[in-house]
Every structure is written in structure tokens, then in C-alpha cells.
Chains A and B, each alone.
Chain A
């Protein structure tokens, strides 16, 4: 079955990774020195002295930024179909050309698509201006 052999290297990679990891863990357990103490049990923060509990509350501003990110991030999905299809409007031959001229005959010319995405961006920009002037991006 050719399809399986196409992906066989992935399986081999997974098996190899698991095997090597197991071997390394086993070796460090067997031959590594075992000492305990206060410093050994403390939290590792890249060599810096640990400050407080990891489970403390975040500043509420993080949530605000998360909300804004959520909105703008998801709006991007409307750009993907547009970006994929727009170059094909200018096709000069084949099925794409037929498709583009059909659309243009229905009023969906390239100019229409440009104006449409422009309105979309204008709306996003209005939202952005609102947030900016609301002081959401000021961190103080």
C-alpha cells in the first residue's frame, strides 16, 4: 500500500524518539548521582531566585488583551477565502477564466471585491480606533 509507506517515516520517527528518550531517562536514573536538599527541591526559574507562587492572579489587563486578540484573530478567517480566490479573478485561460468572467457578468468584478474587502477593513479600523481612544493599549 503506497499511502502507508508515504507516512512510514513518521512512524519510524515517533518510535525512534520514544526509544531514545526512554534510553536517556533510564541511563540518567542508573548512572547519575542522587543527592537531595533545600536547593535541589526549589523551583527552577532559569537560575534566578524564585519569586512567589506560580498560581497567582493575573492583572485584569491580560484578559482585556486576550479579548481583543480573540476578536481580531477570528476576523482574519474572512481574509483567507478572499486572498485565495482573488488572484484567480485575473486568470486568462482555462476554467478559472470562465469562472471569473461568469462572476463579472453577475456584477462581481475585481473592483467589487477590492471595495468589499476595503469596507471590511474600514470596519475593523473603526473598532481599532475605538479601542485605542478608550485607552485599552495604555499599560499603566
Chain B
């Protein structure tokens, strides 16, 4: 049972990571990091319910609550940054931002 949950968690995480690396739209990239966090939450809750040593703990659920809060804080910051960037260039494409680079 644990293995099935871990597979789901790892799949969500991997999808998020691949999406983050391949997509250039700022909102999509941000949603990909959220997807990675949800994969982690699945892992944590699964480990809390089906631990390897057979003693369930709530540490995993507590961790996942805090993880959600951290993800929300990052979401707020990310959205604020995206809105500010959009005001400058009128696009969400990450690759138009090249003010800073090696000469």
C-alpha cells in the first residue's frame, strides 16, 4: 500500500520538476513547483499512515500542514512578482527578461 502512495507522490514530483524545467510561462512554472509540493505532501501522509516500522505518527501530517502554509506564502510572493513583471513587459514569457547577463 505504501509503495502505491510513494509512486503517486514521486510521479507528481517528477511531473512538476519536468514541467518546471521545460516550460517558459511564469504562471505554469509556478504551478509546477506547487505540483512538486503536493507530491511531497502525498509522501508525508503516506509515511505517517503506513510507516516502515509499523508505528503510525502524526509528524507527517503536521509537516504537510506546514508545507501547505509555506507553499501558500510562496504562491503569494510569486503572484506578486508575476504581476509586477507583467506590468513592465506585458507578457508572461520568462525568456523575454534578459536585462542581466554575462557580457
Contact = CB atoms under 8 A, between A and B. Distances in A.
Physical interaction between A and B: yes
A14 interface: no
A74 B79 contact: no
A70 interface: yes
A77 B69 contact: yes
A67 B76 contact: yes
Indicate the size class of the contact surface on chain B: 10 to 19
> Which secondary structure dominates where chain B touches chain A?
helix
Contacts, number: 31
A128 to B, nearest CB: 14
Contacts of B103: none
Contacts of A67: 75-76, 79-80
> Which secondary structure dominates where chain A touches chain B?
helix
Contacts of A81: 65
Interface residues of A, number: 14
Interface in B55-103: 65, 68-69, 71-73, 75-76, 79-80, 83, 87
A39 interface: no
A77 B80 contact: no
Contact of A66 (B71, B79, B87): B79
